[in-house]
Chain A
Amino acid sequence: MGRRRFLGWAVAALLGIWSRSATPAEGPRTGREQEVKLAYLYNLARFTRWPSGDPPEGGAFRFGVWGDDPFGPLWDELIGRTVHGRPVEVVRVRTAREARGCQVVFLAGATVPSVGRMLEALDGWEILTVSDQPGFVDRGGMVGFIRQGEKIRFEVNLDRALAAGLRISAEVLRLAVRVLGQGGAGRGSLP
């Protein structure tokens, strides 16, 4: 499965969401929502720079999922892909220690205190932390997916990212609903 094909899938998925947003609909939209979130996760990794270009573990770029994995088989879509020229690997992590071997960690479905602990454990590490827990960024997470109408948007805690040595692209920051830190640059700073 080529990269192009995946992108086609990703964009089609996004557009599908956009078009559906025109029509008010009820009910859980888990499958579709997870697809969008996974695409965002992947794109966020691409728009983010890590201070140490070459990770010590070898060539792979690791996505880690902590907690109740919401994506399941959708991860397969990332297999064979690269981020910053490094092949993608997906690992399920249970401990912070496991998580420290990843570049991106998605914190899913856990309780707020466990997430807080996990964030504390990862503090200072060059790991982009992403979650769809509400208020994630306010508790020290870096990127948090939020639902805004029909669309999935995200918030960024720029201070945390910078503290971890990560540089998130200004373009992504421009798209963020809210950006914490750095004088509130971006859209997020607007009241």
Chain B
Amino acid sequence: MARFRDLPLGRKVGLAVVAASTISLALAVGLFAWREVRSYRDHASDRLRTLAEVVAANCAAPLLFDDSDAAARTLASLSSQPQVRAAWLLGRNGEVFAGYGRAGRPPPRAAREDGVWWAQRSLVVGRTVSFEGEALGRIVIQVDTGDLHARLWWGLGVAGGVMGVAVLVAWLVSIPLRRRISGPIQELAAAMARVASSGDYSVRIPEGGQDEVGTLIRGFNRMLAQIAERDDKLARLAAAVDQAVEGIAVTDPEGRVLYGNRAFRKMCGADEPLEGVSLFALYPPDEPRVQELREAAERGQVWSGRIRAQRADGATYHEECALSPVTGEGGEVRNLVVVKRDVTREVEFESRLAQNQRLEALGTLAGGVAHDFNNILTPILGYADMALQGVEPGSRLERNLKRVVRAAERARGIVQQILAFSRQGEEGRTPLRLGALLEETEALLRASIPKHVRLEVRSEAPSDWVVGDATQLQQVLMNLATNAWHAMEPDGGTLEMALEEHWVSAGDPELPTGRYLRIRVSDDGCGMPPEVRDRIFEPFFTTKEVGKGTGLGLAAVHGIVQAHGGTVRVESEPGKGTTFQVYLPAREGSESGPSKEPRRKAPPRGRGERVLVVDDELEVADFLSQTLEALGYDVEAVVSPAEARTRLEKNAGGYDLLLTDQTMPDCTGLALARWAHGVRPDLPVVLCTGYSAAVTPRALAEAGVAVVLPKPISPSQLAVEVRRVLGDGA
């Protein structure tokens, strides 16, 4: 049988009702029976005492006069009381003096004292018989209580019957009661089970009355609403934390991750759950600040700062990390909360910004120096040139003066490159098509780069207009390409130049938002280590052998691009090649708008015209002849004016153009031109000079010089001027 506490509530109520009615009825019956017995006894006792008293009074004399017959007669008068079972008159010593009824038996022992007692379904009264205060003996009378028992049994029977009916009625009455009480509670229990299994807190129980069950149901409904609200709040909070941009993690006091949000997992690059992973295992072992982090965690202190972290795949990144303890009421550290943000880009941009600022400072300094230096070079060259006019040709003094001029010209070339690096001005800027410029550059490059370097040029920008200085921008492209193929020496490789459109979105620390044109120049050459990469744009920084490079090429690239509102980025790793990316702001709407500037097109090409190139510097001679050959000219290059004279004497009509440097050791270019004019007056002459102060228009006209090209000579300018001198020929 089930224990009471496990019974259904309805059954309990029923049992309680039945038990209560049974107990109360039993109590009532018991009380009734007890009262009955009491009153009977009181009544009977009184009667018995009286009887005994009467009998005793009548027995004194028989005792005193030893008359047992008389005593017996006295006792016999008890026959008028039918319930008297027996009576004894006892003598002084307790012996039976006379008897009545069933007095054959000895009298009950209880009757040795005066009073009334129960004995064997009877009442017994004992009384002293005395005369004038002197005890003579005892009278003992026993009466049957059968009538009492009969009455009791009858009463009990009736009470039992009433009780049975009452219990039945109580049970019947308890049925609707049970339904009223346990019904709502059962409903409540069912609703609770539903909520527990489904987690649906929208369940509501119809409210009952104003009793305790009703209160319980209302309380339950209210609790559900509160739980639902709190659930919502928690879910919102959890979603907010989980979807926060910052990586957020909660760890135990030892730093083991208990929870990591989405951003945190993403930052760690972990596919598997991070729970249980130590926070400190998420950093590269050589990162010195991990120790700081660990100590802060152990002391329960707040720590924040930038730190280099490691992803699951081993890649490192920079993060802004804040660690703070969560303390309990007693001040003990319960959890650690870590909030981190990937700041790799910021770190990169900051370092680039710092570099740009450094380069700008250098540019300003170098520019100032270059300007002053240029001013100093002007009188040096001028006076040296003037001195040359007055010296005897072929003398030692003339030779020395020419060396002065050459050195000064070289110095001026360097100064001009420095000026290019630090250039700030916007003169000479026009709208131009970067694609066309790239094509021109490609043509020039094909003439100059070795055969084992493969050149690939792509243009993928639908609109390629920028505002800029064509000469400067061509210098940028040439410098980058030249560097690239130098990096691939001696094994060769692929030099790739690509023009693309690029959209710079908000957040770029260097460039304002907008459309840009990007020229990528990449090689698969030797690459650079980071320490070199970080310094390549500094002026006079070079990795080339002394004398082979000025260290100004990339500085000039940087200066020019910055001056155009763009930027240069470089990616390189040793052994994996280098990629330069030049960003220039695209000019909006130039395609439809009118442009006075003729569209730049591919450089005009030669048609096999023979050109004699004279330059005492082999590199320059090479550069000029290669450029012209690439353009389709038949070129002969010599490194001394004497050789040139010899060639012209031999075959004056065999050349269509003379291209000569002005400053050479034995003879100036102008002198050579004059001489050539004498030999063949219709031969056009192009004079290249770094400093033209001494060259007067008259002298030029006398020497038959068609055009003067200021050094340094850009390939496109060369192509255009040569073509113009020879006649467009179209």
Cβ contact of A175, chosen from B61, B92, B95, B136, cutoff 8 A: B61
A37: min CB distance to chain B, Å: 12
Q: Are B66 and A15 closer than 8 Å at their CB atoms?
A: yes
Q: Are A43 and B64 closer than 8 Å at their CB atoms?
A: yes
Judge if A172 is at the interface, Cβ distance under 8 Å. Answer: yes
Judge if B62 is at the interface, Cβ distance under 8 Å. Answer: yes
A12 and B92 CA atoms in complex are apart in Å by: 9
Q: Are A43 and B132 closer than 8 Å at their CB atoms?
A: no
Q: CB-CB < 8 A to A169: which residues of B?
A: 61
- Nearest A residue (CB) for B95: A15
Cβ contact of B91, chosen from A15, A36, A43, A154, cutoff 8 A: A15
Q: CB-CB < 8 A to B95: which residues of A?
A: 15
Judge if B280 is at the interface, Cβ distance under 8 Å. Answer: no
- Residues A17 and B66 in contact in the complex (CB < 8 Å), given A169-B61, A171-B58, A175-B61: yes
Q: Which of A1-30 contact B (CB under 8 A)?
A: 3-4, 7-8, 11-12, 14-15, 17-18
Q: Chain A, 94-111, contact with B by CB distance < 8 Å: what is the 0/1 string?
A: 000000000000000000
Q: Are B91 and A11 closer than 8 Å at their CB atoms?
A: yes
A133 and B132 CA atoms in complex are apart in Å by: 30
Q: CB-CB < 8 A to B66: which residues of A?
A: 14-15, 17-18, 36, 151
- Residues A175 and B91 in contact in the complex (CB < 8 Å), given A3-B134, A7-B134: no
Judge if B70 is at the interface, Cβ distance under 8 Å. Answer: yes
A12 and B64 CA atoms in complex are apart in Å by: 11
Q: CB-CB < 8 A to A40: which residues of B?
A: 65
A172 and B64 CA atoms in complex are apart in Å by: 10
Q: Are B63 and A175 closer than 8 Å at their CB atoms?
A: no
A73: min CB distance to chain B, Å: 23
Judge if A47 is at the interface, Cβ distance under 8 Å. Answer: yes
Q: Are A175 and B62 closer than 8 Å at their CB atoms?
A: yes
Judge if B60 is at the interface, Cβ distance under 8 Å. Answer: yes
A36 and B64 CA atoms in complex are apart in Å by: 10
Q: CB-CB < 8 A to A154: which residues of B?
A: 65
Judge if A174 is at the interface, Cβ distance under 8 Å. Answer: yes
B260: min CB distance to chain A, Å: 113
- Nearest A residue (CB) for B65: A175
A86: min CB distance to chain B, Å: 13
A47 and B95 CA atoms in complex are apart in Å by: 25
A14 and B137 CA atoms in complex are apart in Å by: 13
Q: CB-CB < 8 A to A43: which residues of B?
A: 64-65
Q: CB-CB < 8 A to A175: which residues of B?
A: 61-62, 65, 67, 70
A3 and B130 CA atoms in complex are apart in Å by: 13
Q: Chain B, 116-158, contact with A by CB distance < 8 Å: what is the 0/1 string?
A: 0000000000000001101010000000000000000000000
Judge if A46 is at the interface, Cβ distance under 8 Å. Answer: yes
- The SS class assigned to the B binding surface is mixed
- Residues A174 and B63 in contact in the complex (CB < 8 Å), given A3-B134, A46-B131: no
Q: CB-CB < 8 A to B92: which residues of A?
A: 7-8, 11-12
Interface size on A, residues (CB 8 A): 22
Say which size band chain B's interface belongs to: 10 to 19
Q: Are A172 and B65 closer than 8 Å at their CB atoms?
A: yes
Q: Are B91 and A174 closer than 8 Å at their CB atoms?
A: no
Judge if B68 is at the interface, Cβ distance under 8 Å. Answer: yes
Q: Are B61 and A174 closer than 8 Å at their CB atoms?
A: yes
A12 and B91 CA atoms in complex are apart in Å by: 10
- Nearest B residue (CB) for A176: B65
Q: Are A46 and B132 closer than 8 Å at their CB atoms?
A: yes
A172 and B95 CA atoms in complex are apart in Å by: 23
- Nearest B residue (CB) for A12: B92
Q: Are A11 and B136 closer than 8 Å at their CB atoms?
A: yes
Q: CB-CB < 8 A to B64: which residues of A?
A: 43
A1 and B91 CA atoms in complex are apart in Å by: 22
Q: Which of A58-101 contact B (CB under 8 A)?
A: none
Q: Are A4 and B61 closer than 8 Å at their CB atoms?
A: no
- The SS class assigned to the A binding surface is helix
A102: min CB distance to chain B, Å: 21
Q: CB-CB < 8 A to B70: which residues of A?
A: 174-175
- Nearest B residue (CB) for A14: B66
A40 and B131 CA atoms in complex are apart in Å by: 14
A46 and B65 CA atoms in complex are apart in Å by: 12
A11 and B70 CA atoms in complex are apart in Å by: 16
- Nearest B residue (CB) for A43: B64
Q: CB-CB < 8 A to A3: which residues of B?
A: 134
Q: Are A172 and B132 closer than 8 Å at their CB atoms?
A: no
A17: min CB distance to chain B, Å: 7
Q: CB-CB < 8 A to A11: which residues of B?
A: 63, 91-92, 136
Q: CB-CB < 8 A to A174: which residues of B?
A: 61, 70
A34 and B704 CA atoms in complex are apart in Å by: 213
- Residues A171 and B63 in contact in the complex (CB < 8 Å), given A11-B91, A18-B68, A46-B132: no
Q: By CB atoms of chain B within 10 A, which of A4, A12, A43, A46 has the most?
A: A43
B58: min CB distance to chain A, Å: 7
Q: CB-CB < 8 A to B58: which residues of A?
A: 171
Q: Chain A, 105-144, contact with B by CB distance < 8 Å: what is the 0/1 string?
A: 0000000000000000000000000000000000000000
Cβ contact of A171, chosen from B61, B68, B132, B136, cutoff 8 A: B61
Q: Are A4 and B134 closer than 8 Å at their CB atoms?
A: yes
A18 and B62 CA atoms in complex are apart in Å by: 13
A183 and B66 CA atoms in complex are apart in Å by: 26
A3 and B133 CA atoms in complex are apart in Å by: 11
Q: Which of B329-371 contact A (CB under 8 A)?
A: none
Q: CB-CB < 8 A to B63: which residues of A?
A: 11
B98: min CB distance to chain A, Å: 11
A175 and B72 CA atoms in complex are apart in Å by: 12
Q: CB-CB < 8 A to B91: which residues of A?
A: 11, 15
Q: CB-CB < 8 A to A18: which residues of B?
A: 66, 68
Q: Chain A, 30-63, contact with B by CB distance < 8 Å: what is the 0/1 string?
A: 0000001000100100110000000000000000
- Nearest A residue (CB) for B132: A46
- Nearest B residue (CB) for A13: B66
Q: Are A171 and B67 closer than 8 Å at their CB atoms?
A: no
- Nearest B residue (CB) for A171: B61
Q: By CB atoms of chain B within 10 A, which of A7, A11, A172 has the most?
A: A11
A161 and B136 CA atoms in complex are apart in Å by: 27
A84: min CB distance to chain B, Å: 9
- Nearest B residue (CB) for A7: B134
Q: Are A47 and B134 closer than 8 Å at their CB atoms?
A: no
- Nearest B residue (CB) for A47: B61
A3 and B60 CA atoms in complex are apart in Å by: 16
A174 and B70 CA atoms in complex are apart in Å by: 8
Q: CB-CB < 8 A to A8: which residues of B?
A: 92
Q: Are B134 and A171 closer than 8 Å at their CB atoms?
A: no
- Nearest A residue (CB) for B134: A7
- Nearest B residue (CB) for A170: B61
Q: Are A172 and B61 closer than 8 Å at their CB atoms?
A: yes
A135 and B58 CA atoms in complex are apart in Å by: 29
The contact sample of 20 A-B pairs, CB cut-off 8 A, is A7-B92, A7-B134, A7-B136, A11-B63, A11-B91, A11-B136, A14-B65, A14-B66, A15-B66, A18-B68, A36-B66, A43-B64, A46-B132, A47-B61, A169-B61, A171-B58, A172-B65, A174-B61, A174-B70, A175-B61
Q: Which 6 A-B pairs have the closest CB atoms?
A: A171-B61, A14-B66, A43-B64, A175-B67, A11-B92, A175-B65
Beyond the given A12-B92, A14-B66, please list 8 additional residue pairs across the A-B interface where CB-CB is below 8 A: A8-B92, A15-B91, A17-B66, A18-B68, A40-B65, A43-B65, A175-B61, A175-B62
